[in-house]
């Protein structure tokens, strides 16, 4: 069995998608369709930068999705891969869940781009710059991360945002609390805590205004039945019901990304091969969770052609 994975924020880089677009008409069409939907030359920003502008949440989120779905389009339209037959499950990390849902046919591409642009803007607006922060705990499991978060909170918000793999958990909340996390993490048993270069504290209760914005936006959107089940971030379970998917996307804004559990549960369901489209971050996490599975990262046209030859 095979699962396709779609990366989240942090996978953006100036130059992303440029070589793929040169080699693939389907990729070029994807980037053009996203640009048209947003009324923005996002692909030029992806190709040329500046990096500071690309890193802005409202740009990074649709850009990462566009890159993943350009790979997906080239694989399915030009590589001859029948996605419904090739995939048993899909999953995406945070914003990547939208990419996964688009690949599975629950959203069309313009809708996905607009939702992620709005999501990025709403997340940025939810907490004034400088008031929130995030830190990655290395050498810490979920239980230790929760103890560190509780000790650092001191009346402020400090919660687990991402349970990524057995050795990496991300905390999110008020800046003061996250500063305390960095101070106390080592003495509490973590290898170290690294402040993350993010502009807002994602996946914590401070994001509630953004969750309400997404609830409103998603209420107007048609959610189709996915052609394969989508493992949801907040349940770590396969979901296929459109109304459930809609509600879980709202919960996801403030909820913990249960990535470690999602991957482990896919493994228990029989998945032996994981294919990451448009990035190389999730594959590393997968190998820490399930060391014996096959992991393939598809970024370049060469990666894509090799995979298409294998599974088409």
Which amino acids are annotated catalytic? Answer: 94, 203
292-304: b (≥16 Cβ within 10 Å) or e: ebebbbbbebebb
Q: Look at residues 199, 197, 170 and name the one whose alpha carbon lies nearest to residue 57.
A: 199
What's the token pair of residue 23?
A: 């080699």
Radius of gyration of the chain (CA): 18
Coil/strand/helix, residue 158: strand
The span from the CA of 65 to the CA of 279, in Å, is 11
Length of the chain: 312
As to burial, measured by CB atoms within 10 angstroms (0-12 exposed, 13-18 middle, 19+ buried), residue 115 is buried
Q: Look at residues 25, 28, 35, 91 and name the one whose alpha carbon lies nearest to residue 59.
A: 35
The span from the CA of 99 to the CA of 88, in Å, is 16
């Amino acid at each position: 069995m095979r699962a396709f994975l779609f990366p989240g924020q942090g996978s953006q880089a100036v130059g992303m998608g440029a070589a793929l677009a040169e080699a693939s008409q389907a990729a070029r069409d994807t980037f053009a369709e996203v640009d048209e939907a947003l009324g923005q030359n996002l692909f030029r920003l992806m190709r040329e930068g500046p990096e500071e502008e690309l890193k802005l949440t409202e740009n990074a989120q649709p850009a990462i999705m566009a890159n993943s779905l350009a790979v997906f389009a080239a694989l399915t339209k030009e590589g001859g891969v029948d996605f419904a037959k090739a995939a048993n499950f899909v999953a995406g990390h945070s914003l990547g869940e939208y990419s996964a849902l688009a690949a599975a046919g629950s959203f069309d591409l313009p809708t996905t781009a607009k939702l992620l642009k709005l999501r990025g803007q709403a997340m940025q607006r939810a907490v004034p710059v400088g008031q929130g922060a995030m830190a990655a705990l290395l050498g810490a499991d979920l239980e230790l991360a929760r103890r560190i978060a509780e000790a650092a909170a001191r009346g402020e918000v400090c919660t687990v945002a991402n349970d990524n793999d057995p050795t990496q958990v991300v905390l999110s909340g008020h800046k003061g609390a996250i500063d305390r996390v960095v101070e106390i993490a080592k003495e509490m048993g973590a290898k170290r805590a690294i402040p993350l270069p993010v502009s807002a504290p994602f996946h914590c209760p401070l994001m509630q205004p953004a969750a309400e914005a997404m609830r409103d936006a998603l209420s107007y959107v048609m959610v189709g039945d996915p052609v394969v089940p989508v493992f949801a971030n907040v349940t770590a379970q396969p979901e296929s019901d459109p109304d459930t998917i809609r509600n879980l996307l709202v919960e996801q804004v403030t909820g913990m990304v249960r990535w470690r559990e999602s991957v482990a549960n896919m493994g228990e369901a029989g998945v032996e091969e994981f294919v990451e489209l448009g990035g190389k971050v999730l594959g590393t996490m997968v190998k820490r969770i399930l060391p014996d599975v096959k992991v393939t990262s598809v970024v370049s046209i060469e990666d894509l052609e090799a995979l298409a030859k294998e599974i088409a």
